Structure 1
Amino acid sequence: MASRADLKGKGKAGKGDDSKGTFIKSMKQWSTWCMKKAKVATQYGFIPLVIIIGMNTEPKPSLMQLLSPV
């Protein structure tokens, strides 16, 4: 029968290798946070951006003409 030491699975080479995993984990969290903020900024900024661009075109429409569906 195999000894207790032989039955242990092979683990990481050293405990100092965890810094790479921590860096990757923090980058994933950072990118997720940035994407959530970008989504909110896009959702709340798109319609005002369209209105501002529409107000600065030629011929200059009034705000009611710009917002009416017809």
Structure 2
Amino acid sequence: MPIPPAQARKLILLVFTAALLSFFLALVNTKDLAGLVFWRIGIASMLIAVFLLLLFPDASFRETRRDE
């Protein structure tokens, strides 16, 4: 069963937000191992977000106009 584009956009935004939060936590925790862990989680989340964008091309964030 295919995922509707609106739900795919929500999923992509959720993963992207998780990546940004992880990068922020990595910046805050730069002096210990937690920063490295958050940095790796952020990179993995960004890769997952890009993969989801490629997997669901109908979930584009571009505005499309139809001239009828």
> What band does the TM-score fall into relative to the shorter chain?
0.3 to 0.5
Higher relative CO (CA 8 A, sep ≥ 6), structure 1 or 2?
A: 2
Using the size of structure 1 for normalisation, the TM-score is 0.39
Structure 1 or 2, whichever has the larger Rg, is 1
